[in-house]
Amino acid sequence: MNIFQLPDKLPVEELFETLWKNEKLVIERIISTGQQSAPGFWYRQEKHEWVILLQGEATLSYEDKTIKNLTAGDYLYIPAGLAHRVEKTSQNPPCIWLAVHFNN
């Protein structure tokens, strides 16, 4: 499989594909095509996340009002429990994310 190969038809919702996992670590590819978090919704994940945007552009925000504008190649670490949301993702090209979720 190629990380940049997209499905023939992209779904309306974000596509989450688990590439590898065990009890401590999950590696997934996420494809976003213009999705954003629902108004007022904040992710507060149980695991830490390291994520890199491989293609596209996206904006994330944190509850403390910090904004992160991401372009291809940008990465960040999101500690477990940190409230964050996706403000926007590009449609053309679609966003391709590589996310690594892990425990301490």
Reported pTM: 0.94
Residue type for 63, please?
E
pLDDT of 11 > 90? The answer is: no
CATH superfamily of 15-102: Jelly Rolls (2.60.120.10)
pLDDT tens-place string over residues 68-96: 999 999 999 999 999 999 999 999 999 99
pLDDT at res. 103 = 92
For position 104, what pLDDT does the model report? 78
Average pLDDT over residues 38-50: 97
Per-residue pLDDT averaged across 47-74, rounded? Answer: 98
Is the distance from CB of 57 to CB of 90 less than 8 angstroms? yes
Yes or no: say if 37 and 23 are a contact pair by the CB < 8 Å rule: no
Please state, as a whole number, how many other Cβ atoms lie within 10 Å of the Cβ of residue 36.
15
